[in-house]
């Protein structure tokens, strides 16, 4: 089927089935073009809660669709590419946390939303890359374990003096591989551009950046800035929204390594098949969902 015909079929199914398509900023442009709402993982989970549609096609990776299901248990959440996972989310398990808690009963566990439902269920509170500092500051206890992203955890740790923050050794394979010398090189090539990076990048990249923020914060910083040139240190999919919203500004990807293969697994054909066959439905065991919801709700209360 030709892409145009496929888009027509997708729109037809959307109407017939009262469905909505949510897409993460890191999805391929074709997917973002058919999406009704584009955003980061938290914005999309909130959108999934707020929309009235009973069928939601979530174009992202598994943990994101799971978060939407935790927050909206009565809606049918579909993940079009069932093998779209997140290597960082897999770097910590619920069993790891159960064992850790036995040995460290006084430590509060803060869990980045890029984690499985089971891991959220064993955590005290969740956070995103935009509210992590606020979440950490809201915690009364001195000892904190931050899972699974050591880079985001370290970025926050450097801003908080009155807590003992232990970092789980997980990382995003896409952001972690960018090197400090790549920032230097990009600055040489584009001396009048500002460097905007995601806190999932490692410290040598963060130290060389002009601005550090979540995907949404990077988009809003560049959109509201008087500057016209930016070096972007997050997954390349974000360039689509940056360039669409800011046709007069120039964006340069910091590194060719900034591509997440899992985020690129969803295609127009996957979305078409997903709507047609209502696949692949995301399920979360109720006992785990209730526990994970507590950690997510605590975060939402303070954000």
Kindly list the residues in this chain that would bind ligand SF4 in the complex (CB under 6 A): 61, 86-88, 114, 172-174, 235, 260, 262-263
If DSSP codes are grouped into helix, strand and coil, which group holds residue 155? Answer: helix
Nearer to ligand SF4, 6 or 253 (CB): 253
The distance of closest approach from Cβ of residue 290 to ligand SF4 in the complex, given in angstroms and rounded to an integer, is 25
Of 107 and 266, which has the nearer Cβ to ligand SF4?
266
Report CA torsion sign: 119, 124, 126, 131. Answer: negative
Task: Kindly state the smallest distance separating residue 115's Cβ from ligand SF4, in Å.
Answer: 10
Q: How many CB atoms lie within 10 A of CB 59?
A: 31
Q: In terms of CB distance, is 61 or 94 closer to ligand SF4?
A: 61
Name the minimum Å distance from CB 148 to ligand SF4.
9
Q: Which is nearer to ligand SF4, 263 or 268 (CB)?
A: 263
Pick 260 or 295: Cβ nearer ligand SF4: 260
Rg (CA), the chain: 19
- For ligand SF4, give the closer residue by CB, 194 or 200: 200
197: closest CA among 228, 154, 230, 223? 230
- Beta-strand ranges (E) seen in the chain are 19-24, 37-39, 55-59, 76-78, 108-112, 125-127, 143-147, 164-167, 194-197, 211-212, 229-233, 250-253
Residue 109 main-chain phi, psi, to 5 deg: -100, 120
Q: What's the closest the beta carbon of residue 90 comes to ligand SF4, in angstroms?
A: 9
CA distance 233 to 109: 28
Nearest distance in Å: CB 6, ligand SF4: 25
CB of 234 vs ligand SF4, minimal distance in Å? 8
Q: Which residue has the tokens 């954000």?
A: 303
């Amino acid at each position: 089927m030709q892409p145009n015909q496929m888009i027509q079929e997708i729109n037809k199914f959307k109407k017939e089935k009262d469905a909505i398509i949510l897409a993460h900023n890191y999805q391929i442009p074709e997917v973002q073009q058919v999406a009704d709402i584009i955003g980061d993982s938290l914005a999309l989970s909130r959108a999934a809660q707020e929309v009235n549609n009973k069928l939601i096609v979530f174009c992202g990776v598994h943990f994101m669709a799971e978060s939407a299901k935790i927050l909206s248990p009565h809606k049918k959440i579909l993940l079009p590419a069932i093998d779209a996972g997140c290597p960082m989310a897999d770097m910590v398990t619920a069993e790891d946390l159960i064992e850790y808690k036995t040995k460290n009963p006084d430590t509060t566990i803060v869990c980045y939303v890029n984690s499985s439902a089971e891991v959220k269920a064993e955590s005290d509170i969740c956070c995103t890359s935009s509210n992590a500092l606020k979440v950490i500051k809201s915690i009364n206890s001195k000892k904190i374990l931050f899972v699974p992203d050591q880079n985001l955890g370290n970025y926050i740790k450097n801003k908080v003096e009155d807590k003992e923050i232990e970092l789980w050794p997980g990382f995003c394979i896409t952001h972690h591989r960018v090197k400090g010398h790549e920032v230097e090189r990009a600055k040489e090539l584009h001396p009048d551009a500002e460097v905007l990076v995601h806190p999932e990048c490692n410290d040598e990249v963060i130290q060389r950046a002009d601005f550090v923020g979540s995907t949404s914060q990077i988009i809003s910083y560049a959109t509201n800035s008087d500057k016209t040139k930016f070096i972007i240190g997050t997954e390349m999919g974000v360039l689509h929204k940056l360039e669409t919203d800011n046709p007069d500004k120039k964006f340069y990807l910091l590194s060719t390594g900034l591509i997440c293969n899992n985020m690129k697994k969803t295609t127009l054909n996957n979305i078409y098949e997903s709507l047609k066959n209502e696949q692949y439905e995301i399920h979360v065991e109720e006992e785990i969902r209730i526990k994970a919801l507590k950690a997510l709700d605590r975060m939402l209360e303070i954000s």
